[in-house]
Structure 1
Amino acid sequence: MCCKHLHTCLTLLVANLGHTSLYNSLLLLLNNFPRTWPSAFFFGVMWPSPLYELCRPDLGKLIFLHLNWCPGVLTRTLLNAGARVVALESDKAFLPDLQSLENSLHGQLEVVYCDFFRLDPLGCGSMKPPAMYSEKLFENLGILAVPWTADVPVKIIGFLPQKKERNILWKLIFVMYERSSIFRYGRIELNMFVSEKEYKVLTAKPGELRSYQALSVLWQTACEIQLLHMEPWSSFLTNSKTRGLAIPKSMLLPNDHLCLVRMTPRRNLFTDGMTTTNSSTFFLMIKQCLAKRKSKLIDRLNSWSPDSGSKLLRELEIPENIITGNLYPEEYRRLFEAMEHSKEFSQSWLYDEVLENTRNINF
């Protein structure tokens, strides 16, 4: 990655972090730059001074949790801006340098041996670092839970590991609807570098049957999604032998860029109609509806409660001939809440299977 392109990404990132609404937030910076990518990555040592000037004075009121960024570029930028940084490092080889830096900064930097993407694994018992329970991590960092409707208490920035992107997106959205793991502490904002193909799925619109999936509906229902920056892969990644792209093109969706995406959980995600108690039912309903995006919605409804679909769709003013891939996320939510209050659907097999399927969702 040349200085120019890293400057662009970090300028946008730090400028956004300096927004006044973030002054009282705790920012968890998960800069786990992919170290397994080809060695043709290269970084300059010095970074343009305008990057530092964009860090507003109030940035010093935030705490940044920094995760596995090889050269520590953003870490140093934030430290120079006066921010308190918590570095989550999953590779022991990088701990000595970080700890040496920690000792020289008099409390401004804290280093924790932890892998963020291995927080809260299924099961229970003793945990061997770098795996960790989020409860222990947040407790050690002094992070307290706040009501869901409160301001964002924690902001996370990082790279989704390329080989596990889809799995991690499923896991994050699942625990968000559960309000478990990190979301037990409130509306945790995610600022993630993701591949273009996954960004296209997250933001797909009804009718885009190739990209509009269950993941699209679940994320759009739960979060406001904003593209902060899009950078061509060719700007900073090549294969050292062939000089071609090391990230293969997607056969079905565009995948020519790396995207910095902000996902902010909605204040009104949980209401009387959508709670942590029934959200797993909504989760399962969306997965089943979007499994076949060209199938008629009324057929799916009637399979859950025979001859009840037509009445429900009329009440919601949804066309009876609509296919599942043409329904907007907000319409799926209205449909779910109507089903929750419907006597016809109260005994549906969908609800009977929720408890069995909740923990068997494929991540």
Structure 2
Amino acid sequence: MSSISAARLGLYIFRCGSQAATPVLLCSRQTHNASVSNYKGTLHQCPSSRLSAGTQQKLQWSKSVRDHSLELKMAESCRHFRRFITDPVLINSILKCLAPWGSNGMAPIIMECNPGPGILTRALMDAGHKVFALESNSDFLPSLETLQRTANGQLNVVHCDFFKIDPWSEGLVQPPSMYSSTLMTNLNISEVSWASDVPLKVFLMLGHKRERILLWRQIYSLYERLSVYRFGRIELNVFMTENQYWKLISRPGDFVNYQALSVLFQAACDIELLHKEPMSTFLTPSKFRSSAMTKSGGSPDDLCLVRITPRRNLFSENFTAADGSTFVHMTKQFLARRKSKLIDKLNNLAPGNGKDLIQSLALPMDIATGCVYPEEYKLLFEIISRLEEFNRSFVLDEICEDVAVTSN
């Protein structure tokens, strides 16, 4: 219990002292009107003293976007809503954001989800990255596989949807669905300890209509160390709407935006804003373009490139992967009504212990659930889960709901 006592003291100092801001590494630019068909230039990576000798020189990506007219035509006519990255300035910004700042100087392995035309894929390889391209749409596979054959082992193309890895539904699993064990084995990725460095970076874009559902799928897998997280601290580099980003980093007291998803991600991960980009920069299929480019007011919205890195100290002797699912369910229940009293929720889970639990963290007795910090929720769970009076039956009430949500 000494580690819990130390955490209590740290949280007391944290709550009473000045609050550190959410880490931000922001590279923003003004609205850019992409001109794909007219681009003939090259891309140059910002120099870094930590890059290897081969990539310290100016990165020149001389492939004209015009050379990929067939792939771009397929993107234009795509039947499902997607955003494609074709703008050269945006590609250069992404390369900078994915660069291994502060690491050993080696270009990290990138798992690129739904690369589509493969324009960013080529730039990543030119920058020295080994790329695993997971493409869900079979229409794009031939051109990606052609690129793979000339990549000298630098590119692996898999017909797979990252968000359909380890499906909950039973039956035969066929591409683009796939089990993570099969995927990682085929890509020759081995399990590493949670304390090890990030084994690979996943680059993906969340669909605006289902981004919350997709983030919830990651939360369940992360806290239970299932799916890709069984192989280590997988880092997500995600394009999401600015509205979702602000909800993800919202702080206690913001009863509109501070939600269970905010608490769970902040308690488990470092969250960094890397880049903001207008939606107008991305290529969208022509049938979706008018609705995807603007809000109801008609002004362009921004997408945020956000780095989400699981912390090394997420798990401990007081909080294991076996506790993860229960903690997620508890947090959902507590944050469902953010103005409700914390003491009432605690007494429901551990009858008669609410007052002592609140006093143990030096919290106000009348504090609302929406005013408790993520670190405090995690410590409360570590304490309450070891009480004999802890009632875990609340987990069963949400299982059917969660299966329905995460199976979509």
Q: TM-score, normalised by structure 2?
A: 0.72
Q: Which residue of 1 aligns with 2:229?
A: 183
In the alignment, structure 1 residue 118 sits paired with structure 2 residue 150: no
Q: Which residue of 1 aligns with 2:255?
A: 209
Q: 1:173 aligns with which of 219, 234, 256?
A: 219
Q: Which residue of 2 aligns with 1:340?
A: 385
Separation of aligned partners in 2, 1:59 and 1:75: 20
Q: Which residue of 1 aligns with 2:120?
A: 74
Structure 1 position 241, deviation (Å)? 9.9
Separation of aligned partners in 1, 2:95 and 2:252: 42
* Structure 1 residues 345-356: aligned runs within 5 Å: 345-346=389-390, 348=391, 351-354=392-395
Letter in 2 for 1:354: V
Q: Which residue of 2 aligns with 1:99?
A: 145
Contact 1:2 1:235 in 2 (8 A): yes
Letter in 2 for 1:2: A
* Structure 1 residues 23-38: aligned runs within 5 Å: 36-37=80-81
**Secondary structure of the corresponding residue to residue 384 of structure 2:** helix
Separation of aligned partners in 2, 1:321 and 1:277: 31
* Structure 1 residues 138-157: aligned runs within 5 Å: 138-157=184-203
Letter in 2 for 1:93: D
- The range that moved more, 84-93 or 153-162, is 84-93
**Secondary structure of the corresponding residue to residue 71 of structure 1:** coil
Percentage of pairs with the same residue: 44
Unaligned runs of 5+ in 2: 1-32, 56-74
Letter in 1 for 2:359: R
Contact 1:290 1:325 in 2 (8 A): yes
With over 3 angstroms needed to count, the CA separation of the structure-2 counterparts of 1:100 and 1:233, relative to structure 1, is closer
Separation of aligned partners in 1, 2:201 and 2:276: 20
- The range that moved more, 74-83 or 172-181, is 74-83
Separation of aligned partners in 2, 1:329 and 1:307: 23
State the number of aligned residues.
Answer: 337
Contact 2:111 2:200 in 1 (8 A): no
Q: 2:353 aligns with which of 305, 308, 322?
A: 308
Structure 1 position 312, deviation (Å)? 1.5
**Higher normalized contact order (CA 8 Å, seq sep 6+, divided by chain length):** 2
**Cα RMSD over matched residues?**
3.7
With over 3 angstroms needed to count, the CA separation of the structure-2 counterparts of 1:307 and 1:110, relative to structure 1, is closer
Separation of aligned partners in 2, 1:52 and 1:357: 39
- The range that moved more, 258-267 or 307-316, is 307-316
Structure 1 position 37, deviation (Å)? 4.6
Q: Which residue of 2 aligns with 1:224?
A: 270
**Secondary structure of the corresponding residue to residue 192 of structure 2:** coil
Separation of aligned partners in 1, 2:340 and 2:245: 25
**Secondary structure of the corresponding residue to residue 163 of structure 1:** coil
Structure 1 position 108, deviation (Å)? 2.3
In the alignment, structure 1 residue 2 sits paired with structure 2 residue 34: yes
Q: 2:333 aligns with which of 280, 288, 291?
A: 288
Separation of aligned partners in 1, 2:300 and 2:374: 24
**Secondary structure of the corresponding residue to residue 303 of structure 1:** helix
Structure 1 position 77, deviation (Å)? 0.9
Separation of aligned partners in 1, 2:150 and 2:254: 53
Separation of aligned partners in 1, 2:200 and 2:91: 27
Structure 1 position 287, deviation (Å)? 0.4
Contact 1:59 1:81 in 2 (8 A): no
Q: Deviations over 1:103-141 (max 9, x none)?
A: 223322222111111110014443111111110000011
Q: TM-score, normalised by structure 1?
A: 0.80
Letter in 2 for 1:311: D
With over 3 angstroms needed to count, the CA separation of the structure-2 counterparts of 1:136 and 1:353, relative to structure 1, is same
Structure 1 position 69, deviation (Å)? 2.2
**Secondary structure of the corresponding residue to residue 244 of structure 2:** helix
* Structure 1 residues 266-285: aligned runs within 5 Å: 266-285=311-330
Separation of aligned partners in 2, 1:15 and 1:74: 19
With over 3 angstroms needed to count, the CA separation of the structure-2 counterparts of 1:237 and 1:89, relative to structure 1, is closer
Contact 1:3 1:43 in 2 (8 A): no
In the alignment, structure 1 residue 329 sits paired with structure 2 residue 379: no
With over 3 angstroms needed to count, the CA separation of the structure-2 counterparts of 1:312 and 1:19, relative to structure 1, is farther
Q: Which residue of 2 aligns with 1:162?
A: 208
Q: Deviations over 1:269-288 (max 9, x none)?
A: 11122111122111111001
Q: Deviations over 1:297-349 (max 9, x none)?
A: 11111223333211211122111110000100011111111112333x33x2x
Letter in 1 for 2:393: D
Contact 2:82 2:207 in 1 (8 A): no
**Secondary structure of the corresponding residue to residue 87 of structure 1:** strand
Contact 1:38 1:240 in 2 (8 A): no
